[in-house]
Structure 1
């Protein structure tokens, strides 16, 4: 191999090493970079205090990484509820205060009210979910530019309750009645208004005809909750 060939081979090797130092991968003309590392886990003082309350109440949960999801949506200081004593469907990320109030509401309001008004145990709570990167839903649809508390994982929508005897009590079917099922739901609405900052039900607007919207939105300087 000539001296020129040796130098060319060395330059090619150096270029190859430099390319490997950048972890980008070229596929079909596109550069694919590795996923960003996970965000830091919740570690604020308020989160630690909230988590201590969940621990004391023997609520099982899993802390979730903080994540800015873009577009005004984020999941900060959130957890995944694993066991609150009553199986609950569709729970995603929830801010810790929301999760703590929801667990307490299920334990101290939902279960006792079912025994008192319906003579049975609640074996399942059905929800429409928690986190959703979207705007507020008003009477005429979403309100553009006004993010829902769901966009911060600070809200949960409760749709129905399944009983040990097989009955299913739902907002869409039983709210308008006048029997024990309706009484049960109205008591839950009243109790929720004492625990959550905002409670919206079927009497608020058509968008909430089939669920309770429960959130922990900042009530502002007045400190008042919004219950409809």
Structure 2
């Protein structure tokens, strides 16, 4: 039945309001908080399929609660499909875990949770035990990177391609000393004991931990990720 002409403007306004509300409720909360703006469509970019907002699953929500209860400051990041099979799903940007950390990018929430606990309950006590001082910085080679496994022949994507891995290169002490995997792993006794204690502790917290003993590609860092089931080398 045709809509009377005197009702049409009101009806059109109601429809427009409904569309506006629909657009608001479909925007991921993490994007609204971060102030991100939609990227305008371009003929040079292939559109990616839409992804669910971050922390939509019960496991991810519980992980965020655990981080908050541990006193960790972080920002939830919007889910992203980076192309080439690489992605960042239910990831966070760590802001403060009690110790400064270099080069941190997107990390899956479980990885961030395990890393923050490792820094608090393994790295700090080990520095006091073996060097009698505090760790004031943890140095890393980063987290997310869309690439294959280093030193591997399978051609498989690294866990870094899923924001699910971190490479730790060394530690700065309050007295200025830098205990690096490159040199320290086979260095003086205190450095060896310190780094091996951290490796052992990491193997209890992460799914996969690779040290300089694994292969030449890992001579200067610990690779730690949440895949696997306690693979430790």
The answer to whether the superposition gives a TM-score over 0.5 is yes
Q: Does the CA contact (< 8 Å) of 1:42 and 1:64 recur in 2?
A: no
The 5 A counterparts of 1:134-149 are: 134-138=147-151, 142-143=152-153, 145-149=155-159
Q: Deviations over 1:102-154 (max 9, x none)?
A: 0000000000000010111000000000000000112xxx5353010000000
* Number of the residue aligned with 1:130: 143
**How big is the alpha-carbon RMSD for the aligned residues of Structure 1 and Structure 2?**
2.1
TM-score by length of 2: 0.78
Q: Secondary structure at the match of 2:114?
A: helix
Q: Deviations over 1:74-126 (max 9, x none)?
A: 00000000000000000100000000000000000000000010111000000
How far apart are 1:163 and its partner, in Å? 0.4
* Residue 64 of structure 1, CA deviation: 0.3
Note the C-alpha offset of 1:205.
0.3
1:42-101 deviation line (CA, Å, top 9, x unaligned): 321111000010011010000000001111100000000000000000010000000000
Secondary structure, aligned partner of 1:113: helix
Of the three residues 148, 170, 180, the one matched with 1:170 is: 180
Higher-strand-fraction structure: 1
**Equivalent residue for 2:77, pick from 64, 67, 70:** 64
In structure 1, runs of 5+ residues without a counterpart are 1-22, 26-30
Corresponding residue for 1:161? 171
**Paired residue secondary structure (1:135):** coil
Are positions 1:96 and 2:101 aligned together?
no
Where do 5+ consecutive residues of structure 2 fail to align?
A: 1-39
CA distance in 2, matches of 1:52, 1:227: 28
Aligned length: 193
CA contact (8 A) 2:54 2:91 kept: no
Q: Does residue 108 in structure 1 map to residue 118 in structure 2?
A: no
CA contact (8 A) 1:105 1:192 kept: yes
Cα displacement (A) at 1:210: 0.1
Judging changes above 3 Å, is the alpha-carbon distance between structure 1 residues 24 and 209 closer, same or farther for their aligned structure 2 residues?
closer
